């Protein structure tokens, strides 16, 4: 199957594209886009991969679903397009960065600047059905269990097995389960509560993951991330 994705990722993931689950997933996603509003826009489904080639990955941040509100999702976990109000989790991420590193909260929630520095901002599920215009149809999780999780597991596994000294940032139990197989002797795995308002005060705030990440990168001769 021909999939438009950044060449270094295509090389690692092409075996997935030929598997039965991926064919079924593709059929499902195409049908959803034809019938409903689905996020992100189709051309941005693989945005995380396209902005952060395999050989440039230094940090992996794992989210769950794309945002399902109008104009928010653009293929990077936790990130929103320019001009879009910060969702609560992203707002808490910026608060922790300020407390940890002293950096002021930015004007935009667009995290493309992180991706271009080697941060793979990967949602476990790469698409989601959007809300209806009146906001009555909250469809978070609507594309879970259709095959995306197997695909993103393959991407994480390729990084964990082929590379060394990556920082994996796993916030919340979902991300931690997804990253359970990562070899802690080869990589730095940082875990804490999720930045959601429901859990941020239960261990996310004060986790210092951004300074810990940069210290580890510096220790291993890599350029630190400008968060």
Catalytic positions: 65
Q: Is 75 within 8 Å of 185 (Cβ atoms)?
A: no
151 Cβ contact partners less than 8 Å away, ≥ 6 residues apart: 13, 16, 22, 25, 126
Q: Which two tokens stand for residue 181?
A: 């197989």
The DSSP call for residue 6 is -
DSSP 151-181: HHHHHHHHHHHH--SPEEEEEHHHHHHHTTT
């Amino acid at each position: 199957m021909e999939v438009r994705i950044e060449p270094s990722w295509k090389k690692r993931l092409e075996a997935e594209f030929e598997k039965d689950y991926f064919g079924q997933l593709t059929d499902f996603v195409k049908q959803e886009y034809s019938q409903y509003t689905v996020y992100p826009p189709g051309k941005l489904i693989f945005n995380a991969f396209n902005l952060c080639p395999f050989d440039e990955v230094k940090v992996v941040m794992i989210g769950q679903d794309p945002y399902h509100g109008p104009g928010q999702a653009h293929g990077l976990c936790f990130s929103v397009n320019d001009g879009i109000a910060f969702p609560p989790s992203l707002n808490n991420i910026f608060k922790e960065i300020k407390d940890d590193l002293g950096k002021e909260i930015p004007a935009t929630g667009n995290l493309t600047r992180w991706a271009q520095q080697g941060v793979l901002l990967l949602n476990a599920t790469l698409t989601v059905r959007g809300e209806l215009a009146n906001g009555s149809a909250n469809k978070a999780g609507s594309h879970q269990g259709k095959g995306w999780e197997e695909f993103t597991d393959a991407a994480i596994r390729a990084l964990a097995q082929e590379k060394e000294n990556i920082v994996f940032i796993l916030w919340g139990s979902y991300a931690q389960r997804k990253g359970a197989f990562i070899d802690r002797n080869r990589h730095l795995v940082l875990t804490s509560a999720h930045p959601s308002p429901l859990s941020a005060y239960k261990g996310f705030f004060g986790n210092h993951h951004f300074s810990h990440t940069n210290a580890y990168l510096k220790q291993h001769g890599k350029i630190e991330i400008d968060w």
